[in-house]
Structure 1
Amino acid sequence: MTTTLYLVRHAQSLPLMHQPEPDWALSPAGEAQATGLVPALAPLGITRIYTSPYRRCRDTLVPFADACGLEIAVHEGLRERRIAGQWVPDFREVWRRSWEDFSFALDGGECSWTCRARIAAAVDELVHRHPGETLALGSHGNALALFLHFVEPAFGVHDASAIRTPEILKVTHSDGRYHWRRDFHAGAGFEVLATDFRLTPGIVA
Structure 2
Amino acid sequence: MEQVIYLVRHCKATGQDPDCELTSQGYEQSQQLASFFETIEVDQIITSPYTRAVQSILPTAEQKNLDIYVHDGLKERDLSNKKLENWMELLEASFRDLHMKLSGGESSYEAMQRFLPILEAIKLGRVKSTILVTHGNLMTLMLNHFDRQYGFEDWKSLSNPDVYKVTIGSGLIERIWQ
Q: What is the TM-score when the length of structure 2 is the normalising length?
A: 0.90
Contact 1:80/1:140 (8 A) holds in 2? yes
Give the total of aligned pairs: 178
**Alpha-carbon separation, structure 2, partners of 1:86 and 1:155:** 26
Deviation at 1:88, TM superposition (A): 4.2
Secondary structure in 1 matching 2:144: helix
Contact 2:44/2:127 (8 A) holds in 1? no
**Alpha-carbon separation, structure 1, partners of 2:140 and 2:130:** 18
Unaligned stretches of 5+ in structure 1?
A: 192-205
**Alpha-carbon separation, structure 2, partners of 1:13 and 1:87:** 20
Secondary structure in 2 matching 1:181: strand
Deviation at 1:61, TM superposition (A): 0.3
Change in Cα spacing, 1:73 to 1:173, as seen in structure 2 (3 Å) is same
Whether 1:34 aligns to 2:30 is yes
Secondary structure in 2 matching 1:56: helix
Q: Percent identity?
A: 28
One of 139, 142, 147 as aligned partner of 2:142? 147
**Alpha-carbon separation, structure 2, partners of 1:89 and 1:180:** 37
Whether 1:185 aligns to 2:153 is no
Deviations 1:122-166 (A, max 9, x none): 2222332x3342111111111111111111112222222222110
Q: What is the TM-score when the length of structure 1 is the normalising length?
A: 0.79
Deviations 1:88-137 (A, max 9, x none): 45432232121122222221100111111221232222332x33421111
Secondary structure in 1 matching 2:5: strand
Change in Cα spacing, 1:25 to 1:139, as seen in structure 2 (3 Å) is same
Whether 1:11 aligns to 2:11 is yes
Change in Cα spacing, 1:90 to 1:24, as seen in structure 2 (3 Å) is farther
CA RMSD of aligned residues (A): 1.8
Structure 1, 157-166 or 42-51: larger mean CA deviation: 157-166
Deviation at 1:28, TM superposition (A): 1.9
Unaligned stretches of 5+ in structure 2?
A: none
